Amino acid sequence: MLQLIKQFDAQLAKKIQTDVSLTPYTTFKIGGPAKYFFIAQNNEDLVRAVSYTRKLKIPHYILAGGSNLLISDNGYDGLIILNQANEIIFKDNNRVVADAGAKLFDLVNQTVEHGLTGLEWAAGIPGSVGGAIRGNAGAYRGEMADNIIGVEIMRGSKQFILSKEQCEFDYRDSIFKHNNDLIISGEWQLESGDKLKSQEKIKEILEKRKNNQPLEYPSAGCIFKNIEINSANLDKIDNLKNLPAEYLQYKKIPAAWLIEQTGLKGEKIGDAQISEKHANFIINLGQATAEQVKELIDLVKNQVKQKFDLHLEEEVQYLGF
């Protein structure tokens, strides 16, 4: 691979770093080194870098906000492309375009400053715009797909825009989780709003997060997707005791509730712990390893399966395992 990296380096005329620790680049503060590391400072860098890696068949991974991600203690034996393209552009008719590398909270704050409403629900969610689009991030009855109207991508060597329908958004899912499209930017159609009301809403959401989530510790956010209630699992749901009525109303059972019922809240392996504040968070108490986190994840999945015959699916992504 070294010879390919040298070719890559020469074509971009920018230095590739080697053996770079990925710990500082994740919200979990966990992860070994990247064998090769390149910083894309704008979309031109990003597109060129991905084009060359595909042409040279270099294994690579796009990293931006580093949330919702667990990186192996052994690191990544390929090229990490750190996407720092972060431009946010406001257009006519309440439309806004944001680069995939922009921070989600910057997008939220700037839209509110411009008197627009529609993205307040995302206040406090860490990570990047691109990651949020890929996973259709959501909270407080809102999600990325609600206001999005297009996503600029590179597929193969061609760049074009996908409509909302073409993105195939679903619960914490999109077409981008099932193909190799490079997300370059997204565009949203928002509404004119009251800046003070939006700021008050954000303040309330941030207060809820502070009270309900272990924000004082490094984490990847929620580890598991919530369970969607449907015809395939309704018989199992009917057997659950003490199930709050609102879960049936919204047709989703929080993974945190199921984990609490197993008695695993607060369980520790090394410095990795299932949060005592929010059972769907695994926190890093200081020196947690990826292996310890993975052991806790497997323990939770096994216990929930054994107790309720329900399968918890990870929301967190794995790299280097």
- Please state, as a whole number, how many other Cβ atoms lie within 10 Å of the Cβ of residue 220: 27
207, part of any domain = no
The last residue of one of the domains, among 143, 161, 196, is 196
User: In the prediction, which pLDDT does 72 show?
Assistant: 98
204, part of any domain = no
User: In the prediction, which pLDDT does 76 show?
Assistant: 98
User: In the prediction, which pLDDT does 321 show?
Assistant: 95
CATH code for position 179: 3.30.465.10
The last residue of one of the domains, among 133, 164, 196, is 196
How many Å is the Cα radius of gyration of the chain? 20
Same domain, yes or no, for 29 and 99? no
281, part of any domain = yes
Same domain, yes or no, for 311 and 298? yes
User: In the prediction, which pLDDT does 1 show?
Assistant: 79
Residue 256 burial (C-beta neighbours within 10 Å; 0-12, 13-18, 19+) = buried
CA dihedral (277, 279, 282, 284) in degrees, to 10, reads: 20
Query: What are the 10-residue block averages of pLDDT along the chain, 321 residues in total?
Result: 80 86 98 96 95 92 96 97 98 98 97 98 95 95 96 96 98 95 98 97 96 97 95 88 89 96 97 98 98 98 97 97 95
User: In the prediction, which pLDDT does 104 show?
Assistant: 97
User: In the prediction, which pLDDT does 10 show?
Assistant: 82
Which of these, 265, 285, 284, 286, lies nearest to 275 by C-alpha position?
265
Strand partners, 224: 314
User: In the prediction, which pLDDT does 5 show?
Assistant: 81
Same domain, yes or no, for 111 and 141? yes
275, part of any domain = yes
- Please state, as a whole number, how many other Cβ atoms lie within 10 Å of the Cβ of residue 61: 18
User: In the prediction, which pLDDT does 111 show?
Assistant: 98
Interacting residues of 28 by C-beta distance below 8 A, sequence separation 6+: 66, 69, 70, 71, 218, 219, 220, 284, 288, 293
Question: Three-state DSSP class for 310?
Answer: coil
User: In the prediction, which pLDDT does 106 show?
Assistant: 97
209, part of any domain = no
Q: How many domains does the chain have?
A: 3
The last residue of one of the domains, among 83, 108, 126, is 83
Longest dimension (CA), the chain: 62
Q: Which two tokens stand for residue 64?
A: 């931006």
Same domain, yes or no, for 104 and 128? yes
User: In the prediction, which pLDDT does 90 show?
Assistant: 98
The contacts found for 88-94 with CB under 8 angstroms, 24 or more apart, are 90/114, 93/189, 94/189, 94/190, 94/191, 94/192
